[in-house]
Amino acid sequence: MSPRSSAGFVLVSATALTAALATPALATPALATPALATPALAAAPTAAHTPAQLTQAIASHESHALHGLAQPGKVNATVSSTNWSGYAATGSTGAYTSVTSSWTQPSVSCSSATTYSSFWVGLDGYSNSALEQTGTEADCIGGRATYGAWWEVLPASESAYSGVTVKGGDKFTATVTYSGSRFTMTLTDSTEGWTKTTTHAGSSGFKNASAEVIAEAPEVGGSVAGLANFGTVNFTGAKANGSNLDTYSPNEIVMTKSSSSAVRAQPGSISGGSFADVWKAS
């Protein structure tokens, strides 16, 4: 990342997002044969996981006030973001103290273009600039698939976990918890047999007002990067405060291009803490 970070929301018209979702999506190419993995994130240029950059929404931010009125298991709102795709549960300050999910690391399909993708869980970042998160990376650098694992507490840059191997097909579980003014980020690769844990003070201005499970196009050099073709990533066991994420009526986040509102990635419906996130375009 330059640092890699996850970015904040800017709303758009319901018409634009509705039209984008109605447009036939690009066919999702089959997953590529897993390429040789590198144990650390690629050196050049680094990317950043910033708070979600919402470009627009079918329901405005004011709809968050209706969160308590939404029916359990339903989606509270569908919003568009230039860098996030997935689900975010929202609430008042202090509403969330833990978030967790599992996924199988996608094997990216690479062309000559340099593109990036990341998969993570986090607290904050949906409606404020603080964000505490941990997850994995699947990038295409010089036509080669490159994988890694990291944690980040904004505004500091991403830190790669050292001494680990990450490959396409590895099974991960990520957890972020808050206790005693400290955030603990834990990432486990059950395929390779390693677990990494780090504990840090929260970002300045943290609120613990949202919990997210996200596929992201990180920032590189201050701009949202091209999204690596990750095919489909299946998130399972997505929970906040120990309950399935869908019980909180989470906001569904669709990743779109800022210039055209064309869909880049889109989550399927969430049920029992599980959903699939599908790549559509870089």
pTM over 0.85: no
Total count of residues recorded for the chain: 282
Q: For residue range 250-280, what is the model confidence (pLDDT) as tens digits?
A: 999 999 998 788 999 999 999 999 999 999 9
- Mean pLDDT confidence for 155-175: 95
Instruction: Quote the CA–CA distance of 118 and 219 in Å, as a whole number.
Output: 11
Least confidently predicted of 2-6, 89-93, 185-189 = 2-6
251-256 and 77-81 as β-strands: parallel, antiparallel, unpaired? parallel
**Listed residue (199, 150, 204) closest to 1, CA to CA:** 150
Q: Locate tokens 């758009």: which residue?
A: 12
What is the predicted pLDDT for the residue at 261? 82
Which pLDDT value is given to residue 214? 98
pLDDT one-digit tens code per residue, 239-253: 999 999 999 999 999
Output DSSP code: residue 66: G
The C-alpha atoms of residue 194 and residue 157 are separated, in whole angstroms, by 23
Task: Give the residue among 61, 65, 88 at the shortest CA–CA distance from 75.
Answer: 88
At 63 the pLDDT is 22
Q: What is the pLDDT of residue 53?
A: 57
Q: Which of 94, 24, 117, 74 is nearest to 244 (CA)?
A: 74
Residue 66 exposure: Cα atoms within 13 Å on the Cβ side: 12
Mean pLDDT of the chain: 80
DSSP class of residue 273 equals: T
Q: Is the pLDDT of residue 164 over 60?
A: yes
Burial (CB count <10 Å: 0-12, 13-18, 19+), residue 126: buried
Higher pLDDT pick, 75 / 78: 78
Domain range list for the chain: 14-279
Report DSSP state, residue 65: G
Determine the residue type at 51.
P
Q: What is the C-alpha to C-alpha distance for residues 268 and 13, in angstroms, rounded to an integer? A: 21
Q: Which residue has the higher pLDDT, 177 or 29?
A: 177
Per-residue pLDDT, averaged over 85-111, amounts to 98
Q: Which amino acid is at 224?
A: V
Tell me: pLDDT of 119 over 80: yes
- Do strands 144-153 and 132-141 pair parallel, antiparallel, or not at all (unpaired)? antiparallel
Chain CA centroid to CA 117, Å? 9
User: What architecture (CATH level 2) is domain 14-279?
Assistant: Sandwich (2.60)
Query: What is the pLDDT, as a whole number, of residue 52?
Result: 63
Kindly give the pairing relationship between strand 77-81 and strand 54-57. Answer: antiparallel
Distance from C-alpha of 106 to C-alpha of 34, rounded to nearest angstrom = 9
d(CA 10, CA 19): 18
Q: Which of 43-52, 129-138, 201-210 has the lowest mean pLDDT?
A: 43-52
Which pair of structure tokens corresponds to residue 182?
């400290």
What is the pLDDT at residue 227?
97
Q: Residues 87-91: what's their mean pLDDT?
A: 98
Contacts (Cβ under 8 Å, ≥6 apart) of 15:
none
Under 8 Å between Cβ of 213 and 98: no
User: Quick one: pLDDT at residue 60?
Assistant: 23
Q: How many other C-beta atoms are found inside a 10 Å radius of the C-beta of residue 244?
A: 18
Confidence of residue 75 (pLDDT cuts 50, 70, 90): low
For the beta carbon of residue 26, count every other beta carbon within 10 angstroms. 14
Supply φ then ψ for residue 277, to 5 degrees: -115, 130
